[in-house]
Structure 1
Amino acid sequence: MDSRAVYLSLWSQIFFTFFMRVSTSPHAGTEESQTSYTINSVHLTLLPSADVASGTHVTWRCEVSVSHGSSGLLTHHFLFLRDDVEVYSKNSSDASVSYFLFQARAAHSGTYECRVKVHDKSRTSHARKLTVTGLQTPQLQLSVLQLFQGEEVTAICSAPQEEGSLSFHFYLDQEQLKTVRSSTTSAETQVLLDHAGDRKLYCTYTVTMVPQAGLSNHSNTVGVLVKGLFITPIMNVLPSKTLVEGDVVEFVCKVVNPPPKTEVFLTKDHKVLKKGLTSLVHRFQVRAEDSGEYDCKAEMKNVQKGTSESVTVKELFSTPVLTMDPREVFEGERFTLTCSVSRLVSDRLRPQDVNFSLFKDQHPLEAPGGSYSSVALPSSSADYSCRAQGRNLGNLIAKNSTHLHLEVKVPVSVPLLSVVGGSLVLGRPFQLLCQASQGSLPISYILRGPMGGSEVKVVWRSGERALFNVSSIQKASDISSFVCQASNNPLRTASRESAASRLQHATIIEPVSQPVLTLSPALGQAAEGDHLTLTCSVQRGTPPITFTWFHTTSTKPLAFKTTNELSGSHGITDLGQKHAGGYYCVSSNPSNHSQQSAVVTMGVSVAGWKKGSIAVVCVLLTLILILILLAKKRLLPFQRRKRSAELSVKPAGTKTDGEGAEVTLGLLNEAANVTPGVMGRSVWSEHVSGSESDEPSHDERPEAAQTQYTEVLPPPANPDRAPVKPGTDTVYSEVQGSVHGVSEQADGASQQGSLEYAQLNHNDNRDHDDYVEHCSVNIHSDRGDHNGPEDHGNHFNNGSHGNLNSNCDHADHNNCADNSDCNE
């Protein structure tokens, strides 16, 4: 395409766009914004092709299709993107816009897109990729074309027609020297030419953002003439390269026919000894440490030439050594410091010509012959050193030894052996502490015990302690067998018996033995109202001892007592039944170990006066009951005849017990206004045997004894009497048939004995009722043990107040208090 036509088309588009913007009125814009529209498509066209050579003119054409409902023109915003980066934009009412690349370069390669915006809507075309091949040939320029060896030349490489960031590469004789990055189309660098002769330089470049474009062609090659620089120096060492301490040496370093401004240096171990212009001379007195490699260097600009020589310096005498004997010194001991040299050059110096000096903290000491002796004191601790001096050819050579630190040690004092905690318990483990009040570390402590063994503890640091664990001892006398020995001088451990001590004083606690509890009065002798003493005692134990007494009915102690004695007592006054039971005591002491006694059980008997009172009451009550029975026997027939009209007697069935004996039960009620000598209103039924015994013999016993029951109707209610107790309206009496058929009724018509139960009213006689409530007597007799009707074995029962039960034997009423349970 003709370039003139392209330029003309471009100016035409610019003019048309400007005209459309000026001609568009605000009112028209308002109508346009209100027009409905839609973007149909956006198409991007690349001319002449997607692959072009460097320098080709490239045109991008973007076309848009928009549908809208107004007859006016819409403004399109065209945006051209390369790799998502904006490269060109334009607003136009035309449906197409072109973007021109004049002489496209490799930096223009990439992926292009066109995006069209119409108000708030936008659409993007399909991506198109452009590849520009080929790079421009760069140009190289040098600041000078002739220079001396070691000088630098300025090189400039440029590619003015390229675009973007470039990386320039510089070469010397086809060997790449360096790479320089630049944001422009040129780069500048310095090239060192350190070899004489003709040298050739050229450069190339690459596009940083498009590495696939490859490397450009070589630039023009520029030749440079590098002239040689002859400044290599020479060096002489006088009088010799082998020297002795004290000798004077001379170094000569110079350049023959040097160029102007040539500098000369004498160095050793990277240290400049002297500097000169074209030449130098350096003279000094050598020492042993001056042995080594010396360099003579000539320098002009960036060019350096040099030479070197090795020099050996022998010691006139060796470095002095300060020694001490002995190496460790204790206060009061003598020590010796000696300064000496191990070797010297005999043809230059005699041993007697070496002078020695000793110093204490850099202050001189009087030490003729290099030896110093003294008794160690605390002030002797210091830093010591010595100096040796000798002459070689009149030159004085002096050397100092290294420092020797002397720390005068303090002998260990007699250690103190003690029990950790201040006390120990026999039979238990404990610890012993062995500690010296003074002495230099380390200190060795040796503990020997009663069994002959030994244990060693070494204290190395301040704050450490020598603690020995002892399993136990069984006797207090064993404590004096422990011996502790301390030493901080290994050479004299065996001889320092003065640094040993025994454990003389210690609090030894013996655990208490099992206690024994004794009671006073003794078992079986305590009665109500007595004073009881509980005594707890042990056979051994270190005081103070605490005794604690307990009753088995409670875990709470009765009392406790701390004493220095081996026994303690606790008293209980006014004994009662609540004090009966088991007692025990517990003993303890500072050993923190307690022992418990065996349990002692005791009983508390009734007081003597109570026993006598009960016996008297029981005897009197027994006599009264006997009298009542006797009176009742005599008055019974009369009473039966008197009340026969009031009673309705019905026959009852008979019942035989297992033994065939007759059982007669009577109910005695208390009543008022009765016949003297009779308690209550009662009906007594008696069975009178034909024999004097209550029971028949086995030969005379009937085969089946019958028991009869008789229903007794209550008499009419008497308002003068006390109300009838509920539950006693009708009572039954169990009657056993008589063996001999003898009738006990007054009329003699019936041959069966009957026992009657009658309803009785209460009696207001409270005196007799109190007796019945306080002492219940069960009068009974065994079969064949008693003679007469009084010993028949009748059972006495109070129907209104409950059973009067007693274990008081009728045969021994005087011992009622001892043989029965009688309630007060």
Structure 2
Amino acid sequence: MVIAGGNGVDHRKVATNIGNGTAPKDKQHVGRWGRSLASGEMSFPCHRPGRVARLLQLLLLTLATFPKAFLLLTPPWSTTFKGEKVTLTCKDHHSLVQGYISWYYNGDLWTRGPETIQIKTSAHYSCKTQRSSLSDPVHVEFLFDWLILQASHPVFEGDDVYLRCRGKKEEGINEKIYYRNNKRITHDYNSEVIRLHSVSRDNSKYHCTASGGSSWRPWITTSKPLKIQVQELFPHPVLRASSSQPIEGSPVSLKCETWLPPLRSHIQLQFCFFREDKVLGSGWIDSPELQILTMWSEDSGSYWCQAKAVTPNIIKKSLRSWIRVQRIPVSDVNLEIQPPGGQLIEGEDLVLICSVAKGTGTVTFSWHREGTERNLGRKIQRALSAELRIAAMREQDAGRYYCSADNFYGPILSKRIRVTLRIPASCPVLTLRTPRTQAVVGDVVELRCEAQRGSPPILYRFYHEDVTLGSSSAPSGGGASFNLSLTPERSGNYSCEADNGLGAQRSEAVPLRVTVPVSRPVLTFNPARAQVMVGDLLELRCEVQRGSPPILYWFYHEDVILGNTSAPFGGGSSFNLSLTTEHSGNYSCGADNGLGVQSSYMVTLNFTGLSTNKVIQITSGVIGWLLSMLGLAATASLVSHFRTQRKSGGLPGTGTPSDSPEEHREPSRSRPSSTDPHRPIHSEPAALMELQPVYSNVSPGHDNLVYSQIWSSHHTKEKPGETASEQVEEPAIIYSEVKKAHPDDHEGQAHEDAAENYENLPCVPLALDR
């Protein structure tokens, strides 16, 4: 036996038809159940007089309201091992299911098919037949775990439930322990299945443990927590009255509607009715209906009911329903608004005046806005009109308004009046949309201005540093855009303005930095290329004419990276390099500010000779030390000898022609040196040739020769009466040829005369490479 209600059926009409013997005959299932009852094919577990009639009424009501379908599981466990299958069977209140079954997977329609399907995936499953509403969902879970806890299904409030602790391999399990909310449940030792009595719908969690092994190697494992799916034995009842606003002296029928699932239709329900907190009638009765023969004005109030299952003892109550006994009804309800016309600016007050032409006693006025269930206000007073003020109207307050008046005969509604609001534009938000992360010269940026609120049309104006760029209109509201091609001058702050005639609103400033790609850099050197020589510290300077900082500079020698430096604020950057002969070759640099690398033109540098402010001493073991000592010892003699020969006009015995003072005046400018034909000729200022005396050994590569090179500063002798062109310079460089002893010379052998081992050779001075 099932007691049903809900699902949008007018139960009052059904009950009235049943009472009058005019139950709808056009519904096949109603006719069949009626014929079954008439033929005596059905029986009821009740022997009280009149109970069969009441049960028949409830049964017909159930059939007319499409009760819920329900699911059966085979095997009847909601949890099982992964790889096993579970069979779902969909049933309704009829012995045979007709038509297809709608199956649902996690709340969504899954498929349509027969009343039985097999599943192997964890989910919430539910079903619906063509003669039922949707069943309660059942969560079926397939686990990979070694140990699982299973609960029997279905389970309703007050039912006993069976728990089974199951391992994938039962062999070797010595003990199983069951827990409820982490507290051990007392049961028989190592029970395969335990029984819990009269469970309720709570949030209790259950799990079990299995242990085994030997005393020296024990093991224990725990199952996943399980929440038992306890379904409602019956839903909270709903109180329905034949009339919620009866006229004084008329009867009212109250019905307490609920239903039992087919699997528990044998459970007996009782009902009790209340007005406010006072019990009506004799208290608990077997019938879900109570007849009140006469209603008076003092009977107005809230009514509710309770439903109780006798075994188990489960009680549920309905929500309260208001019943008002009518007197003389009001009529001609009218609503007026101020200001007239129904158009306001957001923030203004709205006054609603509700009035009636007729009505006596206390009148209840209420005000409503279409689309909302809750009333805006209510006043009860002995008057024909009432006023409601709504302060500071907002955008969501726009709509159609009406009022109602009621003096216990039912509310009478007024006509609806539309109230519109003009909303000032809110402070707009400016968004800059660039085609890339950085705004680059030449890009087109979209300036998007949008006010979140504001009545259309809205005019948007766009500004760059408070200079107007242009404007755009949004006739239907929303935002508007303005496109701008970027130049270097477009960096700065941007803003926009929204105006719909109710006051212009300005956005916050948004900064935009327009990035300029770097130009081709220029590579320069300090000192200039004509002045650098081996041993110098050369500064490589790389600089671009334009480009947004920061700029990263790279320096290359023959396409090999020498290093990099950064210019955080723009401009150029330098890299210092100590020169060796290996540094001759091609130099270049690159500049990058994140928009692509630009490379300079390649510059070629050749370095030869020594620097004017560095000394490179080439020594090699003992020979180098000896030669140095020989050079120092011979210096005085060589200089004296040279000067003597100069005064006499020649160098004797050397085989080298003597040079006149004119030939020694500017050797680097006049002609290349006869002793070093590969050395480039450069013209240097006199200031660059002012050198301090320097001595070094130079080996030309012959086994028996070592050259001691002597550098000295220029000394210009001026004679009275001579012009600048007639002035004589002292020799700048003297080479002394020192012959080494032949390796074959044995110890003790007499050496050659010192005069034969030295020879003065004139040579042009080393010049700086231009």
Same topology, TM > 0.5: no
TM-score by length of 2: 0.31
Q: Could you state the TM-score of these two structures normalised by the residue count of structure 1? A: 0.29
Higher CA-based Rg: 1
